[in-house]
Structure 1
Amino acid sequence: MANLLINNKRKRKYPIPGFRLTLGFTLIYLSLIVLIPLSMIFLNSFSNGLDGFWKVVTERRVLASYKLSFTTAFTAAFINACFGLLIAWVLTRYQFPGKKIIDGLVDLPFALPTAVAGITLTTLYSTNGWIGQFFNFKIAFTPVGIIIALVFIGLPFVVRMVQPVLENMDAEVEEASAALGADKFQTFFRVILPELIPAIVTGFALSFARALGEYGSVVFIAGNMPFKTEISPLIIMTKLEQYDYKGATAVAAGMLIITFIIMFFINFIQWWSNRKYLSR
């Protein structure tokens, strides 16, 4: 009888069939695809010692590229969080001709090769381009052009994260808010927006992470001027072309460490917002 109770308790401990097998496969898969390659980056970066690694990542040119990459990526992700919410709202709440076409265009940056996107954006926003000629300041070959390219490739992440939440949102909650005397703005900011914050933060994080590692769509419109428009992925490619593999991995490891810290705080904010929402 005691053995039967122990066996039943063990069965209840893992309600999903094949838990140990699937967990083992997951850990092996993640190790082969993620952990081992990342560990090789750090092993190669620190092969010259901590002093050699620190010397590479603190070069003025590398620090300038870090500042540009993280600033433009954060700005682009913030813009996508705002306008991605707006686009998701329009696609979810309204019916109009061509809605399915616009909905499909949102995913175009996923399918379009990044190099093609970079060449196209450079042609449009250069001084003599179709759009750039109407501005009194330069867009291409400046940080503004980099932000535009990063907004282009990161927008779908926010839209596709927010859109399902809006579609599954209960309309009765909004009707109850209106019945209690709340206007449209109060209903949005006090009822709808709190439920959307976790999805917006997730979309922001995905857009930010994608923008940090973007190369193809940025390298053409950036102009690649050291200390001005040179991004960190370009420095990595330059060091690889010069057969400076240890320097390239050191720059990549520096980006990885900073990105991990930033993503940790973003995930903490997401966890906090989810917990606060569930506690209501």
Structure 2
Amino acid sequence: MKRVLPGFGISLGFTLLYLSFIVLIPLAALLVFTVDNGWETFWNALNDPRVFAAFRLSFTASFIAALINGIFGLLIAWVLVRYSFPGKRIMDGMIDLPFALPTAVAGIALTSLYTESGWIGSLLAPLGIQVAFTPLGVTIALTFIGLPFVVRMVEPVLKTIQQEQEEASALLGASSFQTFRKIIFPVLAPALLTGMTLAFARALGEYGSVVFIAGNMPMRTEIVPLLIMTKLEQFDYGGATAIALVMLILSFALLLLVNAFQWVLMRKLGQRRIT
């Protein structure tokens, strides 16, 4: 049979070549450059309270943003798939705005909204809630840019779930919560976890939308990507590559852990369908 695509060997060769130039070689160069600078430079760059504070803020805010997007992204996907209402197409298109909108524009817009003189910030200020130039503002910015990942991952899976299964569950006496927990959520869980992981990964490396609303105060609202840029501007290339390498290792470890957990969920789901 004549194949449209080339054979396995040549396809695999081009795949490895492309991945090497785009992903593997740049990452390997980062490791080599760090080693060339010496481990003493590496440890000195990391043994800084400012670096620890930046890592703590970046990972904490990214994790919280991913959880928020997991909850509300699932809700939005459910509404878009299960209901028909005026303006549905417009709402569906608005979900992708964080993808298309330049991150700097998003950062300026969020900052203007959440400062004490902004539309939302002026309402929160009398309550003693400050968003702009605080870790809360960083979390909101990361939530903004990560929402589409969850919605777009959950939507296709939700469309494949046949409502007859939910009706059968209801006829057997299950409540709405039991139907969702035992019938719907196990199917959605892998896609939801993937979307949250993508949102978390995107948030870790986000710079443009955060740098304006964060205020960039060391030890308080300074994120890791901004700290790396600061090191580069100071010609501290050893410190910048050391921080970037740690960021790479931690991110890869977390993504690997999540992928392993996702594989376990998919395996359990497959065994459940067989039985």
Deviates more, 1:101-110 or 1:163-172: 163-172
CA distance in 2, matches of 1:221, 1:182: 46
Contact 1:46 1:52 (C-alpha < 8 Å) held by counterparts: no
Does the residue aligned with 1:279 lie in a helix, a strand or coil? helix
One of 28, 46, 69 as aligned partner of 2:17: 28
One of 121, 133, 142 as aligned partner of 2:122: 133
Aligned pairs for 1:180-219 (under 5 A) are: 180-219=172-211
One of 156, 161, 166 as aligned partner of 1:164: 156
Aligned-residue CA RMSD in angstroms? Answer: 1.4
Q: After TM superposition, what 4+ stretches of structure 1 lie above 6 angstroms from structure 2?
A: none
- 1:220 maps to what in 2? 212
One of 46, 64, 74 as aligned partner of 1:75: 64
CA distance in 2, matches of 1:142, 1:41: 31
Deviates more, 1:110-119 or 1:264-273: 264-273
CA distance in 1, matches of 2:250, 2:62: 13
| Number of corresponding residues | 267
The code of the aligned residue for 2:78 comes to: W
Instruction: Flag structure 2 segments of 5+ consecutive residues without an equivalent.
Output: none
CA distance in 2, matches of 1:232, 1:93: 40
CA drift of 1:262 comes to: 1.1
TM-score for both structures, normalised by structure 1: 0.93
CA distance in 1, matches of 2:7, 2:88: 43
CA drift of 1:131 comes to: 0.3
Instruction: Flag structure 1 segments of 5+ consecutive residues without an equivalent.
Output: 1-10
- 1:6 maps to what in 2? none
- Structure with the greater alpha carbon radius of gyration: 1
Does structure 1 residue 147 correspond to structure 2 residue 139? yes
Deviates more, 1:167-176 or 1:117-126: 167-176
- 1:117 maps to what in 2? 106
CA distance in 1, matches of 2:148, 2:69: 9
Does structure 1 residue 98 correspond to structure 2 residue 76? no
CA distance in 1, matches of 2:264, 2:109: 40
TM-score for both structures, normalised by structure 2: 0.95
- 1:64 maps to what in 2? 53
Contact 2:157 2:188 (C-alpha < 8 Å) held by counterparts: yes
